[in-house]
Amino acid sequence: MKNILVAVDRKNDADLLISHAVNIAKLTNAKIWIIHVTVADPDDFLAREAGPQYVYEKRAEDRKKEKATIEKWAEDVAKDHNVEVEGRIIEGSVIKSIKKLVDECNIDLVVAGHKKKNLVYGLFTSNKKKDLIDELQIPLLAVPLG
């Protein structure tokens, strides 16, 4: 196992998900990819076609904060656990974005949280076209969230 993707939906769950990935990465000398999927970039021309300006400014500010948070987690994990880590904010559909990164980065394992009413859990268990697990063709570690 060389690449582990940690899909973070909520800040409150990130530490638990990352700790599972760190434990596995230490055993296998794997790189960890911490990702958060967000809405399309508000600077995109198509995203600006409708809606008040303050909505775009708020999205841009939120996105900057999310990016800084992911980068800080990656930096802290690398420093504290001596594992290779990269943090990324990805824009678009959660399923498509995860699939794309899995393919591009040769991900061997996806670590994601699951809660009965959690968005990420719902995406992994109910996909209209095809189950994400089958589509990815790699293992998924679903970590129960409190």
Indicate if the pLDDT at residue 129 is higher than 50: no
The dihedral sign for the CA sequence 65, 68, 106, 3:
negative
Give CA torsion, residues 43, 100, 28, 32, to 10 deg: 10
Residue 108 CA to residue 40 CA, distance in Å, equals 27
Predicted confidence (pLDDT) per residue in 48-89, tens digit: 555 677 777 887 888 889 899 999 999 999 999 999 999 999
pTM score, two decimals?
0.80
Q: Which of 23, 5, 7, 2 is nearest to 124 (CA)?
A: 7
Question: How far does Cα 79 stand from its chain's mean position?
Answer: 20
Q: Residue 92 is part of a domain; what is its CATH number?
A: 3.40.50.620
Domain span at 20? 1-142
Q: Considering its fold, how many domains does the chain have in total?
A: 1
Most confident stretch, 41-45, 89-93, 98-102, 142-146: 98-102
Residue 129 CA to residue 89 CA, distance in Å, equals 25
Start-to-end CA span in the chain (Å): 28
- b vs e for 76-113, b when ≥16 Cβ sit within 10 Å of the residue's Cβ? ebeeebebebebbbbeeebbebbbebbeebebbbbbbb
